[in-house]
Amino acid sequence: MVRNTSITRNATRITLTGPRLADFVPGGPDQRVKLFVPREGRPASRITRDDLTWREAWTRIPEADRPYQRTYTVRAHRSNPVEIDIDFALHAPGGPACRWARSARTGDAIELLGPTAERNGGYSFEPPAGRRLLLAGDHAALPAIGSIVESLPRDARGHVFVEVGSAADRQHLAAPPGVRVDWVHRGDAPVAENRLLDAIRAAHLPVDHGYAWLAGEAGRVRALRRHLKDERGMDHRSIAFMGYWRVGHTEETAHTEPTGRVKSAQPMRLAR
């Protein structure tokens, strides 16, 4: 790890580097990677093995030492110097990844499984050229939305909806002039309430020749897709949707990891 930089009161950015990171090849602006988060009080276990796949190596680690698997989006990737930024939402009390990110310091080690080929299946944003865009997601999707928005050409057109807790959780997104960004504040809304859906229902959104990218809590994302497809008449082939998390579950129990499989991927040990 290189830096731990606070973004907002509920988010921090971890900057990672390491000798094997030069092999990292992102396929899209919402590129997903897997982090192996060390257990509290345990050293970062080695997943990189020449004789085993990463999963075989991971399962052979004693359970008390076995790191947690978590899927994250690359917020930014730089080649000079070679660095990757990953943003973490900070909840209270938070899960293993949240607790690790909150206390991470320069010199801490963690392993990352990332792609080494562009067509790796670990990303979903692939709009046809010239389409009007709709991006919608919650706090978990904010890093991907930020990366996507900042990758868009200057002539891009579209609308972005981001659900966060409050105005204090907003982040600066360098959107092109033709892309509008609306922030939806969740506040103390009950779990069952889908404020993103309410905001999109109330908006005038041309969907002809459009492309939608939806991500966040799995149930709310499915409701957004149904609205666009069934109520707005949007072609289902023009809707990319990902359940990044599920209410009441962790990644081990919810099976909410995006379905895209990372091909040509290998663990990269990130050190000082």
Q: Please report the pLDDT score of residue 270 as a whole number.
A: 44
pLDDT at 263: 40
In this predicted structure, what is the pLDDT of residue 195? 96
50-to-54, 57, 69, 94, 175 alpha-carbon distances in Å: 9, 10, 20, 34, 43
Please tell me the predicted confidence (pLDDT) of residue 250.
Answer: 65
**Tokens at 87, concatenated:** 């943003």
The domain segmentation of the chain, as residue ranges, is 3-121+261-270, 132-252
pLDDT tens for each residue of the chain, 272 residues long = 899 999 999 999 999 999 889 999 999 999 999 999 999 888 787 787 778 888 999 999 999 999 999 999 999 999 999 999 999 999 887 899 999 999 999 999 999 999 999 989 899 999 999 999 999 999 999 999 999 999 999 999 999 999 999 999 999 999 999 999 999 999 999 878 999 999 999 999 988 889 999 999 999 999 999 999 999 999 999 999 999 998 876 666 654 444 433 344 554 444 33
In one-letter notation, the amino acid at residue 68 is Y
pLDDT of residue 40: 87
**Domain at 3-121+261-270, CATH homologous superfamily:** Translation factors (2.40.30.10)
pLDDT value of position 264:
41
The answer to whether the bond into 81 is cis (omega within 30° of 0) is yes
Q: Cβ(247)–Cβ(91) under 8 Å? A: no
Pick the CATH number of 132-252 from 2.60.40.10, 3.30.2040.10, 3.40.50.80, 3.30.300.130: 3.40.50.80
Question: Residue 127 is encoded by which pair of tokens?
Answer: 């709009």
